[in-house]
Amino acid sequence: MRIRMTDGRTLVGCFLCTDRDCNVILGSAQEYLKPSDSFAASEPRVLGLAMVPGHHIVSIEVELENLGSPQYL
């Protein structure tokens, strides 16, 4: 699952759960910073287990190529 946030960051990880406030928990999460003019997109930062507050979520996408093999096991 790919989550784009209001500050331009993108988190990619395995969806684990959500709650009534639309917060999302990702397992095996990696953080990608927003590329700027001064430097290209760098290596992702490994976060592991991450909680994304619902009010910071801009969009959520499902990556179909990773559906067959959960990465958090």
Percent of the chain scored above 90 by pLDDT?
A: 71
> What are the pLDDT digits (tens) for 54-67?
999 999 999 876 55
Record: fold of 2-61: SH3 type barrels. (2.30.30)
Q: Is residue 47 within 8 Å of 33, Cβ to Cβ?
A: no
The rounded Cα 9 to chain-centroid distance in angstroms is: 8
Count other Cβ atoms within 10 Å, centred on residue 29: 25
- Residue-wise pLDDT tens digits, 45-57: 999 999 999 999 9
Note the pLDDT of residue 39: 56
- In the chain, what are the domain boundaries? 2-61
* pTM (predicted TM-score): 0.79
**Residue 68 in contact with residue 62, Cβ under 8 Å?**
no
